[in-house]
Amino acid sequence: MIEKLKKFQNRYQEIAEEMSKPEVVSNHEMYSKLAKEYADLEPVIKKAQQYKEVLHQLKNTEQMLRDETDEDIRAMAHEELEKLEQQVAKLEKEIRLLIMPPDPNDRKNIVLEIRAGTGGDEAGIFAGDLFRMYQKYSEERGWKVEVLDANYAERGGFKEIISSITGRDVYGRLKYESGVHRVQRVPETETQGRIHTSAASVVVLPEVEDVEIDIDPNDLRIDVFRASGHGGQHVNTTDSAVRIVHEPTGIMATCQDEKSQHKNKAKAMKVLKARLYDLEMRKHQEQISSQRRSMIRTGDRSEKIRTYNYPQSRVTDHRIPLTLYRLSDIMEGQLDLLLEPLQLAELEDQSKTEIQTV
């Protein structure tokens, strides 16, 4: 591990030296490229420093155990040694996660789709709760959330809401969220206090550029129609809503959020491209699934991935498995409590696969 980290440290220092040269400072394109690489390496360097410090403490504690004869002090040293060994193991996992080859899509923005499932009105309310959770998480990370299309539920929440989230490494963080999310709680309309189970589905699609997917305009059918508003309000008087259908696949995208037909068409195309790209990705995953199938991301959107139990303030992720009694924190956007263990679990799964295929 130390030898691997030396390469990153050396590169980090090289970039710092390069960025201080006048010819680089005056070259905006070169300087920006180096600055980005420098910023990407910074988390690795900081974690490496922590790792070295803990290793140093570990060696000192081991030396104390060899030299010390007082049994009370030796007992304290043994206890400290166990803690330090746990810290070393944890830091090694975190470092491997930082230096592992990234998914090419990890840096991309996303299209986030949330749909109410089984559970009637309560499912729509839960879909709204999930959207708010992702909004809160995005705010914490400095990401921008833009609603592309929304179909509101009568008693609150959404039958369906589609949004884009833009920022740094959005897909890399939220790609684990695709699947069925289940909620167990007493609905406001329940008079006898019975717990109901409802569900909503979440789909996370990496946003794609034009160069990544080629769409023949002749394969598209574009319909325009009059948009309907939330609860009968703000109904457009012009045909500004847009529906685009990719006829070879039957995949469709609709947008009526904007008053401008042009803007709605652009947003609908963004969603359509993401869905078509996702279709190709899933075809590829199916081709390699016999060789490797990650326990974290199976690609099966019908899979129940998480349960939110309100009476017990419990959130359970069924893929690791992981149970936390911090539901209110998670619903307020502290999603890293779930996402970081999922990342580490996927890393361990990949490591096992690599060992088996050697």
Mean pLDDT value of segment 11-28:
93
Residue 188 belongs to domain with CATH number: 3.30.70.1660
Q: Which domain holds residue 172?
A: 110-211+298-357
Query: How much is the pLDDT for 295?
Result: 43
Whether 331 maps to a domain, the answer reads yes
Which stretch of 29-38, 74-83, 296-305 has the lowest confidence by average pLDDT?
Answer: 296-305
16 and 29, same domain (yes or no): yes
Whether 272 maps to a domain, the answer reads yes
Which stretch of 106-115, 133-142, 203-212 has the lowest confidence by average pLDDT?
Answer: 203-212
- Tell me how crowded residue 115 is: count the other CB atoms within 10 A of its CB: 18
Instruction: Measure the CA–CA gap between 198 and 324, rounded to whole angstroms.
Output: 20
Helix, strand or coil, per DSSP, at residue 183: strand
Secondary structure (H, E, C), 53-79: HHHHHHHHHHHHHHHCCCHHHHHHHHH
281 and 337, same domain (yes or no): no
Question: Which pLDDT band holds residue 352 (cuts at 50, 70, 90)?
Answer: low
Instruction: Measure the CA–CA gap between 164 and 275, rounded to whole angstroms.
Output: 13
Per-residue pLDDT tens digits for 211-241: 567 788 899 999 988 776 554 444 455 678 9
188 and 254, same domain (yes or no): no
Beta bridge partners of 199: 182
37 and 183, same domain (yes or no): no
Which stretch of 145-154, 266-275, 277-286 has the lowest confidence by average pLDDT?
Answer: 277-286
Helix, strand or coil, per DSSP, at residue 110: strand
Query: How much is the pLDDT for 313?
Result: 97
320 and 352, same domain (yes or no): yes
Whether 149 maps to a domain, the answer reads yes
220 and 203, same domain (yes or no): no
Question: Which pLDDT band holds residue 288 (cuts at 50, 70, 90)?
Answer: very low
What value, to the nearest 5°, has the Cα angle with vertex 112 and ends 108 and 115? 165
Question: Residue 302 is encoded by which pair of tokens?
Answer: 């019908």
* pLDDT(315) > 50: yes
Domain count, the chain: 3
46 and 177, same domain (yes or no): no
* Angle, helices 71-99/2-19, rounded to nearest 10 degrees: 60
* pLDDT(52) > 60: yes
Of 146, 113, 272, 274, the residue nearest 208 (C-alpha): 274
Of 13, 19, 8, 36, the residue nearest 95 (C-alpha): 8
Which stretch of 65-74, 213-222, 238-247, 294-303 has the lowest confidence by average pLDDT?
Answer: 294-303
With tokens 């109904």, the residue in question is 235
Whether 47 maps to a domain, the answer reads yes
* pLDDT(162) > 90: yes
* pLDDT(284) > 80: no
Q: Which of 263, 285, 307 is the last residue of a domain?
A: 285
Mean pLDDT value of segment 25-34:
92
Query: How much is the pLDDT for 95?
Result: 87
* pLDDT(287) > 70: no
Residue 247 belongs to domain with CATH number: 3.30.160.20
342 and 236, same domain (yes or no): no
143 and 232, same domain (yes or no): no
Mean pLDDT value of segment 270-281:
88
Instruction: Measure the CA–CA gap between 115 and 123, rounded to whole angstroms.
Output: 9
206 and 315, same domain (yes or no): yes
85 and 127, same domain (yes or no): no
Q: Which of 262, 285, 308 is the last residue of a domain?
A: 285
Whether 304 maps to a domain, the answer reads yes
Write the single-letter amino acid at 78: H
Beta bridge partners of 151: 160
Q: Which of 78, 99, 120 is the last residue of a domain?
A: 99
Whether 293 maps to a domain, the answer reads no
Whether 105 maps to a domain, the answer reads no
Rounded to the nearest integer, the mean pLDDT of the chain is 86
Query: How much is the pLDDT for 126?
Result: 96
71 and 128, same domain (yes or no): no
Mean pLDDT value of segment 130-158:
95
Whether 344 maps to a domain, the answer reads yes
